[in-house]
Chains A and B, each alone.
Chain A
Amino acid sequence: MTNWMKRILVTGTMLAGLVTAAHADPFRIGYLIPNPVGDVGWSHELDAGAKAIQEHFGDKVEVQTVNSLGEGPDATRVMDKMAADGFNMLILGSFGYQQDGLKLAKRYPNLSVVHIGGYLNAKNFSTLAPRHYEAAYLCGMAAGMVTKSETLGVIAAFPLPEVLNIMNAYVLGAQSTNQSLKPVKVIWLNSWFDPAKEKASAESLASQGSDVIYSLFPGTPAPVAVAEQLGVYATVTHSDNTKYAPTKHLCAGQLNFGPVLIDKVQQAMDKAFKGDDVFAGVKEGTIAVAGLNNDLSADQKAQILATQDQMRAGTFNPFTGPIASNDGKDAVPAGTALDDAAIKSMKFLVKGIDTTIPN
């Protein structure tokens, strides 16, 4: 590029910058999403959160989302560019952004950062984790109610930490409505975006008797769509997948990032940002069941929703003892309930799940 072209470009950019600076500066939020945004799923719900923020605050904020970012040093570069460009707040939508997000927060004390899915905090670095397990328990109740083969199947991508507490809650919920369940079968995909493998996993579980298949953090809607084809019920995390399984969609753990994020944005705009650890569930409006199947009777639906109401009121903890783990030990003694820290660092599998995870 020749010199005079460069000069024109730079001058032009500066002038443009001056012009926009003349208006009252909107509060600039950078929003990082790890994967392509589809119609359903984690990235979709993150994107919906971004849209909720923009809609709520209107002209006062400017949300710029970048998606399909991956989790390595490239994401860091984007974060850094946003910080250097003077963004006021960053919302990081994946666990992998934690370390570098934290370093960035230390270098830019005026930057507020919300990290979704982590466990480290700083004064201007807050973490947000959804209580997926609450909806998992409720969907488990539904699964226990409808299963005729008494066999439930689970498809999970990787044995991430939350996956364990979600799976456990699901099985506990099913066991609460169904005393004659056979061991729950689990398939670990070990890859994120392989619809052919997801479909094959659903077929594998169905061929061995599962009539409800739980897609835990699915990469694509393939397992849900295949469940419909095979005539088995589908439960799923993240989003209401009814459009992929019109007749067999049983229950979804619908995420809604809007309320909590709007709260955090308001905090940041009021210069009262807290670097806290937010574990948000039904009570905060972050998690709710959705897409309940009409095969469930009115009474059954009422029972599920009643338990949800209890969660909203804070009176129901799915991990209340006694709970036995699948290697025979007593994971949660009678009369006690797991606290947040214990839930987040759960390492055991409840009795009734038939799989192994590396220690």
Chain B
Amino acid sequence: MDALVFVLAGAMATATPMLLAALGELVVEKAGVLNLSIEGMMAIAAAIAFMVTLGTHDHTLGLLAGVVSGVLLSLVFAMLVLVFMANQVAAGLAVGILGLGLSALLGRAYEGMTILPLAKLSIPVLSGLPVIGPVLFGQDVVVYLAFALAALIAWFLYATKAGLKLRVIGENPATAHALGLWPVATRLAAIAFGGAMAGLAGGYASTVLTPVWSQDMIAGRGWIAVALVVFGTWRPARIVVGAYLFGAVSLLGLALQALGIGIPSQLMTCMPYVLTIVVLVVISADKVRIRLNAPASLGENYRPTT
């Protein structure tokens, strides 16, 4: 029973960095831009957020610092892609590498240090309920924030005019421009928002999820976030489900090991990645669904001619 609670409750927190980053990338991609530098943005945010939290003993300041550093790095990407018309994949990889290198460079004096953890919420009656108590009502603040952001983004994209405009720009920026919309400015805002979310994700990872910073701690979660957007066919609710599923499966391997089940540990470490491929294949095979939800101009630069 406890293994189950561990997996379900732990999945919430484990999934939160990937969920936050994926939600940000969702908005960016809906605007038509593919930003592959998430790993680098998370890494530098993790380093900066940790340094600030260590110095000020204030998690909120640390997370804010993480957000700011994510935004700043994303602006480098925005400049490359919007102003210099660089290939989006190349630009994303370049900025990602830069972010990873900078995070290691800036944070090297902080390797292995620790800070006080952020407390988990404890709601009077609800947290005490068996199983669903700790799973649903015993998480830290940012987990609930991620939920709220997912709902907020869904509302923004599908129930507001601004969201509609963003989606139109993602489908066909030239037509949007002819209609009087501002593709470049909107994409800039979207990229910055993606940077903020990745920054929050990275800051959360190093100050709340584990109160430790280490050079390679993001460990590929930025790439998982990219996968999650495709998983969820560009819809927020499905991205939430996908993130928790991924988190649960990665913890499942650890739970099975602790139970003493004799499957080679390397195999269990592979599980989340194999699962990602399988789900991706299933989702992508449905061409209709993909075409309905994937922004048509994703990955192509918009070249304003007037």
Please list the residues of chain A having a beta carbon within 8 angstroms of any beta carbon in chain B.
36-41, 44, 68, 153, 183, 185-201, 203-205, 207-210, 219-222, 225-226, 229, 243-244, 354-356, 358
Contact = CB atoms under 8 A, between A and B. Distances in A.
Interface string B193-228: 000000000000100011110111101000000000
Nearest to B211: A225
Interface in B95-122: 104, 108, 111-114, 117
A189 B210 CA distance: 16
Interface in B225-264: 250-251, 254-255, 257-260, 262, 264
B111 A36 contact: yes
The number of chain B residues touching the other chain, given as a range, is: 35 or more
B210 A203 contact: no
29 contacts: A40-B112, A41-B112, A183-B260, A185-B259, A185-B260, A187-B258, A187-B265, A190-B266, A191-B269, A194-B216, A195-B210, A195-B214, A196-B14, A196-B217, A196-B219, A198-B210, A199-B210, A207-B255, A207-B258, A208-B258, A220-B112, A220-B212, A220-B217, A222-B210, A222-B212, A225-B117, A225-B210, A355-B257, A355-B262
Given A36-B108, A225-B211, A355-B257, A195 B217 contact: yes
A188 B217 contact: no
B3 interface: yes
Given A36-B108, A188-B266, A229-B117, 16 more contacts: A41-B112, A68-B108, A187-B258, A190-B269, A195-B212, A196-B14, A197-B254, A198-B210, A204-B254, A204-B255, A207-B5, A220-B214, A222-B212, A225-B114, A225-B212, A355-B260
Interface of B: 2-3, 5-6, 10, 14, 104, 108, 111-114, 117, 205, 209-212, 214-217, 219, 250-251, 254-255, 257-260, 262, 264-266, 269
A221 B254 contact: no
Nearest to A195: B210
Nearest to B267: A190
Given A193-B217, A196-B209, A226-B210, A39 B258 contact: no
Contacts of A37: 111
B210 A193 contact: no
A205 B260 CA distance: 11
Contacts of B117: 225, 229
Given A222-B210, A225-B117, A190 B265 contact: yes
Of the listed residues B6, B114, B209, the one surrounded by the most CB atoms of chain A closer than 10 A to its CB is B114
A36 B104 CA distance: 10
A145 B225 CA distance: 45
Contacts of B216: 192-194
Contacts of A200: 10, 14, 250-251, 254
